[in-house]
C-alpha cells in the first residue's frame, strides 16, 4: 500500500539573488518521510501557481513550515515596517485560506513557527514582530556570537533553550504523555493576541505562547512555535508530534 501524501508549503526565495524559486527546507521533508511515514510533496506558496482545491484533492495532510519571512501585518490590521521585513505575501495568500479549508474539511494540518503564526492569524489573532521587546520576555531568536553573527553550529542553534508548560488533559499533553517539555527557540515574531478560534495548549516560562490547536476543527489541527522538524528522528517530543500527525494523515486517507 502506498504512503499517504503530505503537502509541504514552499517559500519565495531568490537563488543567487536573481532566480525566483520556491524553497522547502530538507529537514521538513525528512521529518515527513522518516517520522510521519508519508510522502512529502512540496507545493508553491504562490496563488498564481497553487490552486488550493486542486491541492487538497491530491494530499492527505498539510505541513506549514517555518520561514524567514514574517506574516504581513495587513493580515491582522497592523502596519508594516522595513525593520520587520522580509514578507512573503504570496505565501500568506496560499497559507491562510488553506488553513481555513483544512479546518473545514478535516484535512490534518500541522503548523510550525511561521505556520503556527499563520494559524493564529487565520483564527482571528494577531502577531508581534519582536516578542523580545515585550516586558518580561526573553530573546527567542537564534543564538549569536559576541560579534553579532549567527552561531555557526546548528547543534547550538537548535538546542533546547526553554521550558513549555502544556495544558493538563489537552491534546498535546495526551500525545506527549507529559505536561512539561523543553524546546528550541528560533523566532522573532510571535503571538500577541490569541485568535478567538484558537485554544492555547502550551506556554513558555516568559508567557510566550508555544502550542495551539484550532477549536472545532474537523481533524488534527495543531501548531507549535518551535522547530519540531529539526530532530524528530531523535527528539522524543518532536518525534511524538510527527508520529501523531502521520497517524492522523493515515486515518484521513483511509476514510476520505
pLDDT digits (tens, 9 = 90+) for 244-256: 999 999 999 999 8
Helix axes 236-255, 26-34, angle to 10 degrees: 70
pLDDT band for position 1 (50/70/90)?
low
Beta-bridge mates of residue 150: 144
pLDDT band for position 79 (50/70/90)?
confident
Beta-bridge mates of residue 13: 21
pLDDT band for position 145 (50/70/90)?
confident
47 against 72, higher pLDDT: 47
Three cell numbers, residue 219: 481533524
Query: 53: number of CA atoms within 13 Å, CB side?
Result: 0
Window from 8-22, 27-41, 101-115 with minimum mean pLDDT? 8-22
The active-site residue out of 113, 118, 140, 187 is 113
CATH class of 5-255: alpha beta
Residue 208 pLDDT:
92
d(CA 240, CA 188): 26
Residue 5 vs residues 64, 203, 252: alpha-carbon distances, Å: 14, 31, 11
To the query of whether residue 229 is one of the catalytic residues in this protein, the response is yes
pLDDT digits (tens, 9 = 90+) for 163-189: 999 999 999 999 999 999 999 988 878
136 against 195, higher pLDDT: 195
How do 19-23 and 190-193 pair as beta strands? unpaired
The active-site residue out of 118, 201, 210, 229 is 229
To the query of whether residue 102 is one of the catalytic residues in this protein, the response is no
User: Over the chain, what HEC string results?
Assistant: CCCCEEEEECEEEEECCCEEEEECCHHHHHHHHHCCCCEEEEECCCCCCCCHHHHHHHCCEEEECCCCCECCHHHHCCCCCHHHCCECHHHHHHHHHHHHHHHHHCCCEEEECHHHHHHHHHCCCEEECCHHHCCCCCCCCCCECCCCCECCCHHHHCCCCEEEEECCCCHHHHHHCCCEEEECCCCCCEEEECCCCEEEEEEECCCCEEEEEECCCCCCEEEECCCCCCCCCCCHHHHHHHHHHHHHHHHHHHHC
Residue 248 pLDDT:
98
To which residue does cell 490534518 refer?
108
Residue 149 pLDDT:
75
d(CA 101, CA 210): 23
Instruction: Name the residue ranges covered by the structural domains of the chain.
Output: 5-255
How do 221-224 and 109-112 pair as beta strands? parallel
Rounded mean pLDDT, 130-158: 77
Does residue 72 have a pLDDT over 90?
no
The active-site residue out of 72, 84, 140, 227 is 227
Residue 40 vs residues 32, 34, 71, 119, 253: alpha-carbon distances, Å: 6, 10, 24, 21, 14
Three cell numbers, residue 192: 500577541
Amino acid at each position: 500500500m502506498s504512503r499517504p501524501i503530505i503537502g509541504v508549503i514552499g517559500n519565495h526565495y531568490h537563488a543567487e539573488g536573481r532566480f525566483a524559486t520556491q524553497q522547502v527546507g530538507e529537514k521538513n521533508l525528512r521529518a515527513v518521510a522518516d517520522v510521519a511515514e508519508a510522502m512529502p510533496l512540496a507545493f508553491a506558496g504562490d496563488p498564481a501557481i497553487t490552486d488550493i482545491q486542486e491541492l487538497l484533492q491530491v494530499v492527505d495532510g498539510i505541513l506549514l513550515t517555518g520561514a524567514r519571512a514574517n506574516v504581513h501585518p495587513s493580515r491582522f490590521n497592523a502596519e508594516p515596517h522595513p525593520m520587520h521585513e522580509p514578507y512573503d505575501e504570496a505565501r500568506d495568500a496560499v497559507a491562510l485560506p488553506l488553513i481555513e479549508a483544512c479546518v473545514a474539511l478535516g484535512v490534518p494540518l500541522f503548523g510550525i513557527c511561521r505556520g503556527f503564526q499563520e494559524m493564529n492569524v487565520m483564527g482571528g489573532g494577531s502577531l508581534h514582530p519582536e516578542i523580545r521587546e515585550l516586558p518580561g520576555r526573553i530573546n527567542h531568536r537564534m543564538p549569536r556570537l559576541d560579534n553579532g553573527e549567527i552561531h555557526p553550529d546548528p547543534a547550538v542553534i537548535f538546542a533546547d533553550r526553554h521550558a513549555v508548560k502544556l495544558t493538563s488533559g489537552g491534546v498535546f499533553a495526551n500525545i506527549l504523555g507529559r505536561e512539561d517539555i523543553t524546546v528550541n527557540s528560533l523566532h522573532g515574531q510571535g503571538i500577541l493576541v490569541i485568535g478567538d478560534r484558537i485554544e492555547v495548549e502550551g506556554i513558555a516560562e516568559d508567557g510566550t505562547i508555544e502550542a495551539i490547536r484550532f477549536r472545532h476543527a474537523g481533524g488534527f489541527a495543531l501548531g507549535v512555535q518551535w522547530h519540531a522538524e529539526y530532530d524528530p528522528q531523535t527528539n522524543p517530543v518532536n518525534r511524538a508530534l510527527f508520529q501523531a500527525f502521520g497517524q492522523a494523515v493515515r486515518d484521513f486517507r483511509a476514510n476520505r
